[in-house]
């Protein structure tokens, strides 16, 4: 309600600031009886962690998660799961020089206008660092969905700046620092090295897919599955666009070719991206996002200071030249949280959740 | 919670089916003391109404709204405002032939899978007809926001099928059946006439803008203003993509040119679309959507029937060949509902809502 | 959120004023596939209806309910069920004389302070008439709970004014106008006749019981089953106290006799009222309420007018001398709504709902 | 939604188990700019703390609170305030002997039935220890309400077991271990010493009052101020009854004497307990609760074990013989949380919150 809780039945309340004592979240609504340990969560946190290559921020955070509650003798109890991550490498002095000015394209202006208070420590709460608790919560949702329905989540880079990345295979994603689904990332390395030297930043396009999806998830009229996916993705830092399935390519398409034909063996295409009328079809969910260039750059920009006078801003400190590079695990987490919440909601109203494409008989069960 | 309520503090609960007795909504949370009559609402409903040109469905619905509660002697009382629209022209027989099959690209398959029950009357609840109560509620929000802050909402068509429509002026929008911001719509007429003759349908791209926006609206971390806008827009029937500000063009942009510079006179650009860090900047909100082609077409498509056997589907009845044509007033309503909810939420937490760009002094008020 | 919605997964949004055009509600979240018609709802509305005996208000309202949505061919579809009750006998002139004054003990003072607007028509939204939509929604919940678990709800009068009513049998309740569980109600008739002649009003104590309750319903920590029951009951007009199980008698009790012993055959007592730690035990829920005397009486009271000057108030018009008399069906509805919501919530998190006392094996199922 | 969050605009999400690593909460929605430090919170925690007299559990917990987020340079920032309390004295071995049985009157039976998992460590999440985070959050609400409106909260003991305690003065409350509003507590000491020796436990009756209340808080229809108060109080461990104002004494009262008369100088009585029609009158809120005897006692009780076989239960370990003794600060916190939430909600819808009794002119402001 007050903005820092994601989901309703699997509700994740996020807290913390980039350079405060700690960040974390409380997960309320996790089903009881699931095996869960810190290791289950740490793996995804490590994929999102800063400092793992020269193409991302050099801040060194172990992001070690501690489970404070909700797990007893290795199993979830059905009570809130509190997750705590202590901040360790908060060099706030790096930000001292920006306290009196506003970075073009950055949230420091709007936070100041909204709250009348400014927390300059690494962007405070507007920092991308606050996606870590989201990733941690997403790991819990992923585990449950995989155990229950076999549902899995995979994200990858589709474009960095001008460099379009063809999709070769999910297998390549963990093998390069860009989460790129290609074997050869030399073009990306060249591009990013030049970008870093120029002191500039760039945007990115990413894609996330959920496989083995239950059918029937999503609520009419407003809380559609795709509406909640768009909410989740657009709420991720720096995102300016969201597409599901064919996305903006739908505009110039025709009805005679757009709708995915059905056959006894399944759908003949996935322009829908796995959602029709706001409800999952059982096909793969397929979602893309556009991420804008980071606003914290070494190139001077025109701006104003807190008294309203004109000034020039250069942002030193440690920043991602392409914030999209670390976004893949976050997208997976966000999509998993949306699916998890809808799976529980569907179970509440309709009593079961099933996976089948297209299983007509299933509908007679309800 | 169960999917049919939009917003939290200005909460709109929508009910009804396309061909049931009535559709409508209950608005809970409207501030007291605002003058309100059916006429305030009817104007927007008439803009969305079917049957107003040959380019939209020929169903003839007056969409006359009745205020059932929440208004006394012409003023809102602070209690729920129930709005009722009786359905009058529900020719259900048109749909008899589709009861046993699934239209490719249509929600009838997923509703069947979810609920185990099928309401074939005009798509039942999945019909775009259910946007009428949203438009009605949006009219109430628009009136309050205009009176309080001078905020206004304008939507227009940007592309129909392959025909890109340049932006000339908002003044043209009410003067043609396409909500196009151009003086000459002959190219659109030609395109749509050919489309109708072919029995096919097409997609569309639309844009909505909010002017005189209050600054500081939006909640970190998850309930960001842009996240809620994306939720609202993606939840509109047939939408497959949402962009805010520069949208997908951000991907190939650089930080040195992307972030909108600040000067004592205001922002020097609006690539942000009026939102930074999920909070409104006071600039215009600028949002675009992609709408897919209608799935109900006269051209035969491969499909299956409810027993799972292969079949061919042709949809007769009265349908919009480009459902985007009537989407402009709906987008305005949705954007107004999001802004309204965030204005009340901001007032709850921060005590005031103000409009100024960029008014540095204002931030010291809080 | 804005105060007029009851429940979260089985969410009832109530609208209307006592003397406006109509009252009603929208039920969001009802499971699909349940047979439902107006007759299922009308029976409980008729039990609550005014004008049925000389001991209640003589306002004559048929309270005929119309189902506007959510039901197709006699079955719920899983989409919102809108229920409409037109007001027919709203003699607003009766209230003209009270527009400028405040009745001691009545909500007209606080509504005026809160909203700055006054709807004098029968108390507007503060009228007990607004319990009719609650009763209607409760009838839907009752039907589902009975079909699913065999759960039933019974309320009765326990005391009117000074007259304590012993519990003889539920069978007597429908046979007298007081919902009294006794065969002989002559003492009550005498008391009420004298009360009416005096122009005064009195309080009442009522009790409601749910039988065949599922075990395990209720959420720790805050949304306990008993917490939500207390919320529901205290929210009923004129209620000033709520007890569960032993209630205030617990204060002078000892632990050695208070806790209900367990045996292989079940609990040996029900001082808990069917709830331990906020979660249902599977025993009967047992809840009592205290209702204050109606504030609209023929005896003059000291008060002030809207300018703040002293005045005297007498309330003519048609009022219940003991508003508790019609409260029994409302209590049943409220308790059913609470149980329904928790049953769905439990199903979401824990996957099943079961009924057994005490069935230890059951706990191993989860 | 999932049960562990209190409030909507000032939302407190509680986590932890009695004998896990830590307990705490996240407060979302606190207005920005308020001075806040650990010391503001610690004072109330110390009042609730165990081990402070021989009449309460001897568990020794410092209950030292750490603010993890939401405060920068001593002021709230408007972002979530996470509060952490490490458990230090969790002697789990004390509970080993009860793992296989169910205490009559205790939540261990219902938790087992609900979740299929049992956390025997000090009652796990059902422990009264989980009221500590509630008290911590309440301290934040209290501070804001006092600064903004001068509203203050006071609770006291009204009865322990059979010993009724007359109200003498709030000043006595901090001077004795019973929170009793009397100068001489020797009778209570005698009673409690005998109770402890007997190995038994007893119930209690407490009262809480809010002074300098804003007028107009509370939402019709369901989310009435008194409804939410009842929810809050009944949700407190071991509470079996809640009264507002005259409470159950209303049953035998008459309308001619019950409603509090109004005069230009204010109300002539407070039988309403400060609420009419669910909305605050501006008078003192006045609430009473009944607390049942603790179920963990040294006297043997009949019960069953987890296989369903009959057994006898004696609870050793450290327990409160009268859990009501430490309830006073918790009641204050709960009432403050309810008032805080409604103050923000009122500000959202009506734009201001004011304090005056009865200030007729105020209503014209809206």
Per-residue tens of pLDDT for chain C, all 366 residues: 679 999 999 999 999 999 899 999 999 999 999 999 999 999 999 998 877 788 877 777 788 999 999 999 999 999 999 999 999 876 555 555 667 888 899 998 999 889 988 776 667 899 999 999 999 999 999 999 999 999 999 999 999 999 999 999 999 999 999 999 999 999 999 999 999 999 999 999 999 999 999 999 999 899 999 999 999 999 999 999 999 999 999 999 999 999 999 998 889 999 999 999 999 999 999 999 999 999 888 899 999 988 889 999 888 766 788 999 999 999 999 999 999 999 999 999 998 766 654 555 444 433
Q: Residue C354: what pLDDT?
A: 65
- Calpha distance B24→C38 (Å, rounded): 19
- Calpha distance D192→D188 (Å, rounded): 6
Domain tally, chain B: 1
Taking CA atoms, C298 is separated from C50, C305, C306, C318, in Å, by: 19, 18, 21, 10
C294 marked ligand binding residue: yes
CA distance C327 to C331: 6
pLDDT at A167 over 90: yes
Burial profile A121-144: b = 16 or more Cβ within 10 angstroms, e = fewer: bbbbbbbbbbbbbbbbbbbbbbbb
pLDDT attached to residue D59: 72
Residue D269 belongs to a domain with what CATH number? 3.60.150.10
- Please give the pLDDT value at position D326: 92
CB-closest option in B15, B75, B81 to C69:
B15
**pLDDT at residue A285 above 50?**
yes
Among the listed residues C70, C8, C43, the one whose alpha carbon sits nearest the alpha carbon of residue C333? C43
Q: What is the pLDDT of residue D363?
A: 44
Closest to C349 (Cβ–Cβ): which among A78, A350, A366? Answer: A78
Within 8 A of D1 by CB-CB distance, chain A residues are: 8-9, 11, 28-29
Answer whether C114 touches B (CB < 8 Å): yes
pLDDT bucket at B118, cuts 50 / 70 / 90: confident
Contact state of B351 with D33 under an 8 Å Cβ cutoff = no
C32 touches chain A (CB under 8 A): yes
Q: How far is CA B139 from CA A47, B335, C237, D348, in A?
A: 46, 11, 33, 19
Inter-residue contact B117 to C77 (CB < 8 Å)? yes
Q: Is A326 annotated among the ligand-binding residues?
A: no
In chain B, where do the E strands start and end? 5-6, 11-16, 22-28, 65-67, 71-72, 75-76, 81-86, 152-160, 163-164, 204-211, 239-244, 262-263, 266-267, 275-276, 279-280, 285-291, 301-304, 310-313
Question: Are residues D68 and A21 in contact, defined by beta-carbon separation less than 8 angstroms?
Answer: yes
The CA distance from C51 to C58, in Å, is 4
The confidence score (pLDDT) of residue C363 equals: 45
Does residue D95 sit at the A interface (CB-CB below 8 Å)? no
pLDDT at A96 over 80: no
Structural domain boundaries enclosing C227: 5-363
On chain C, the residues whose CB falls within 8 A of the CB of A29 are: 348-349
**Tens digit of each residue's pLDDT (9 = 90 or more) over B310-362:** 999 888 766 788 999 999 999 999 999 999 999 999 999 998 766 654 555 44
pLDDT band of residue D336 (cuts 50, 70, 90) is very high
- Contacts with D8 from chain B: Cβ below 8 Å: 8
How high is the pLDDT of residue D325? 94
- For chain C, the 3-state helix, strand and coil shares in percent, each to the nearest 5, are 35, 25, 45
Q: What is the mean pLDDT of chain B?
A: 91
C3/A contact by beta carbon, under 8 A: no
Residue B117: pLDDT band with limits 50, 70, 90: confident
Judging contacts by C-beta atoms under 8 Å, the chain C residues touching residue D241 are 241-244, 247-248, 250
Q: Could you read off the pLDDT of A12-24 as tens digits, one per residue?
A: 999 999 989 999 9
C292 is known to lie in a ligand binding site:
yes
Evaluate if residue A110 carries a pLDDT over 50. Answer: yes
Helix (H) or strand (E) holding B129: none
**Token digits for C226?**
């008993």
CA distance D365 to D72: 36
Helices (H), B204-277: 225-234, 255-258
Neighboring chain A residues of B310 at a CB cutoff of 8 Å: 263-264
pLDDT, averaged across chain D: 91
Measured CA to CA, the distance from residue D163 to residue B140 in angstroms comes to 58
Q: What is the mean pLDDT of residues B155-180?
A: 97
Residues D197-222, mean pLDDT to the nearest whole number: 95
Query: Taking the alpha carbons of D314, D315, D319, D322 in that order, is the dihedral positive or negative?
Result: negative
- On chain D, the residues whose CB falls within 8 A of the CB of A116 are 32-33
A75's tokens: 């199993």
pLDDT over threshold 50, residue B243: yes
DSSP E strands: which ranges in C230-284? 239-244, 262-263, 266-267, 275-276, 279-280
Distance (Å, whole) CA B299 – CA B313: 8
Q: Is C9 on the interface with A (CB under 8 A)?
A: yes
Give the helix, strand, coil percentages of chain B, each rounded to 5. Answer: 35, 25, 45
Q: CB within 8 A of C8, min separation 6: which ones? A: A8, B1, B2, C341, C345, D1
Contact check, Cβ <8 Å, C16/B121: no
pLDDT of residue C201: 95
Task: Tell me how far apart the alpha carbons of residues C140 and C37 are, in angstroms, rounded to a whole number.
Answer: 10
Position B52 scores a pLDDT of 76
Contact C1 B8 (CB under 8 A): yes
Q: Mention every residue, 6+ apart, whose C-beta is less than 8 A from residue D129.
A: D18, D23, D50, D61, D87, D122, D123
Give the Cα separation of A254 and C218 in Å (integer): 51
pLDDT band at D93 (very low <50, low <70, confident <90, very high): low
**Cβ burial D261-289 (10 Å sphere, 16+ → b, else e):** bbeeebbebbbbbbbbbbbbbbbbbbbbb
Which tokens go with A119? 């927390």
For B19, the 3-state DSSP assignment is: coil
Does C93 count as an annotated binding residue?
Answer: no
Of B5, B33, B69, the CB nearest to C20: B69
| pLDDT over 90, % of chain D | 75
A328: left (phi over 0), alpha (psi -120 to 50) or beta: alpha
Residue A97 pLDDT exceeds 70: no
- pLDDT > 50? residue A342: yes
Per-residue pLDDT, C2: 79
Under 8 Å CB-to-CB from A335, ≥6 apart: which residues?
A153, A155, A208, A210, A229, A232, A285, A287
B75, pLDDT greater than 90 = yes
A215 inside 8 A of chain B by CB: yes
What residues pair up with C280 in beta bridges, in sequence order?
Answer: C275
Q: Please enumerate in sequence order all residues whose Cβ is within 8 A of that of B306, keeping only pairs 6 or more positions apart, or say none.
A: A360, B100, B101, B102, B112
Helix (H) or strand (E) holding C336: helix C328-350
Contact: C32, A347; criterion CB under 8 Å: no
Subunit contact D69:A21, Cβ cutoff 8 A: yes
Yes or no, beta carbons of D2 and A24 under 8 Å apart: no
- Residue D210, pLDDT above cutoff 60: yes
Task: Determine contact: C278 vs chain A, CB below 8 A.
Answer: no
Identify the pLDDT of residue B355.
Answer: 63
Please report the pLDDT score of residue D54 as a whole number: 81
How many Cα neighbours within 13 Å face the side chain of B264? 5
Closest CA to C195 of D256, A178, B6, A297: D256
Instruction: Tell whether the model's pLDDT for residue A359 goes beyond 60.
Output: no
Give residue-wise pLDDT tens across range B170-199: 999 999 999 999 999 999 999 999 999 999
- In the stretch 299-338 of chain C, residues with CB closer than 8 A to chain D read 299, 301-304, 306-310
Closest to B22 in 3D by CA, of B71, B63, B67, B73: B63
Q: State the Cα–Cα distance between residues C344 and C362, nearest whole angstrom.
A: 18
Per the CB < 8 A criterion, the answer to whether C162 and C178 are in contact is no
Q: Give dist(CA D136, CA D132) in Å, integer.
A: 6
> Average per-residue pLDDT in chain A?
91
- Residue D301, annotated as binding a ligand: no
A215-254: pLDDT as tens digits: 999 998 999 999 999 999 999 999 999 999 999 999 999 9
- CB-CB contact of A230 with A288 (8 Å): no
Chain D: give the shortest CA distance to residue A288, in Å: 29
CB of B27 closer than 8 Å to CB of B86? no
Count chain A–chain D contacts defined by CB atoms under 8 A: 159
Three-class SS of chain D: CCCCEECCCCEEEEEECCCCCEEEEEEECCCCCCECCHHHHHHHHHHHCCCCCCCCCCCCCCCCEEECCCEECCEECCCCEEEEEECCCCCHHHHHHHCCECCCCCCHHHHHHHHCCCCCHHHHHHCHHHHHHHHHHHHHHHHHHHHHHCCEEEEEEEEECCEECCCCCHHHHHHCCCCCCCCCCHHHHHHHHHHHHHCCCECEEEEEEEECCCECCCCCCCCCHHHHHHHHHHCCCCEEEEEECCHHHHHHCEHHHHCCCEECCEECCCCCCCEECCEECCCCEEEEEEECCCCCCCCCEEEEECCCCEEEECCCCCCCCCHHHHCHHHHHHHHHHHHHHHHHHHHHHHCCCECCCCCHHHHCCC
Looking at beta carbons, which residues of chain D come within 8 Å of B349? 9, 29-32, 78, 344
Using alpha carbons only, what angle is made at residue B20 by residues B16 and B21, rounded to the nearest 5 degrees? 95
Instruction: From chain B, pick out residues whose CB is under 8 angstroms from the CB of D277.
Output: none
The ipTM estimated for the assembled molecules is: 0.95
DSSP state of B352: -
By Cβ distance, the residue of C10, C17, C33 closest to B117 is C33
Neighbouring chains to B with at least 3 Cβ pairs closer than 8 Å? A, C, D
Helix, strand, or coil (residue B272)? coil
Is A288 an 8 Å CB contact of chain D?
no
User: pLDDT-based confidence at B238, cuts 50/70/90?
Assistant: very high
Question: Cα separation of C103 and C126, whole Å?
Answer: 13
D82: nearest Cα among D48, D36, D146:
D36
Of the candidates A1, A32, A80, the beta carbon closest to that of D15 is on: A80
A341 — phi, psi (to 5°)? -60, -40
């Amino acid at each position: 309600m007050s903005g820092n809780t994601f989901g309703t039945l699997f509700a994740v309340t996020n807290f913390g600031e980039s350079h405060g004592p700690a960040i974390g979240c409380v997960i309320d609504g996790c089903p009881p009886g699931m095996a869960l340990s810190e290791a289950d969560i740490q793996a995804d946190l490590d994929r999102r962690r800063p400092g793992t290559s020269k193409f991302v921020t050099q801040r060194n955070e172990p992001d070690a998660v501690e489970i404070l509650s909700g797990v007893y003798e290795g199993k979830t109890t059905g009570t809130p799961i509190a997750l705590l991550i202590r901040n360790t490498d908060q060099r706030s002095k790096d930000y001292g020089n920006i306290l009196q000015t506003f970075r073009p394209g950055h949230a420091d202006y709007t936070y100041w206008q909204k709250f009348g208070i400014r927390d300059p420590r690494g962007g405070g709460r507007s920092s991308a660092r606050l996606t870590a608790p989201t990733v941690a919560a997403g790991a819990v949702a992923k585990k449950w969905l995989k155990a229950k329905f076999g549902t899995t989540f995979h994200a990858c880079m589709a474009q960095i700046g001008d460099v379009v990345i063809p999709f070769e295979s999910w297998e390549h994603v963990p093998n390069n620092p860009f989460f790129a689904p290609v074997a050869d990332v030399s073009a990306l390395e060249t591009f990013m090295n030049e970008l870093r030297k120029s002191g500039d930043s760039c945007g990115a396009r990413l894609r996330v897919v959920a496989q083995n999806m239950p059918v029937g998830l999503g609520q009419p009229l407003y809380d559609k599955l795709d509406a909640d996916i768009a909410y989740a993705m657009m709420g991720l830092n720096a995102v300016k666009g969201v597409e599901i399935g064919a996305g903006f390519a739908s505009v110039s398409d025709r009805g005679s070719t757009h709708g995915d034909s059905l056959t006894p063996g399944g759908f003949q295409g996935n322009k829908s991206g796995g959602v029709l009328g706001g409800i999952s079809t059982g096909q793969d969910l397929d979602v893309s996002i556009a991420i804008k260039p980071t606003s914290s750059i070494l190139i001077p920009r025109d701006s104003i200071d807190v008294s309203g006078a004109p000034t020039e801003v250069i942002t030193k400190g440690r920043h991602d030249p392409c914030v999209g590079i670390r976004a893949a695990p976050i997208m997976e987490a966000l999509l998993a949280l949306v699916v998890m919440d809808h799976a529980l909601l569907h179970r509440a109203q309709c009593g079961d959740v099933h996976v089948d494409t297209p299983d007509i008989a299933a509908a007679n069960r309800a």
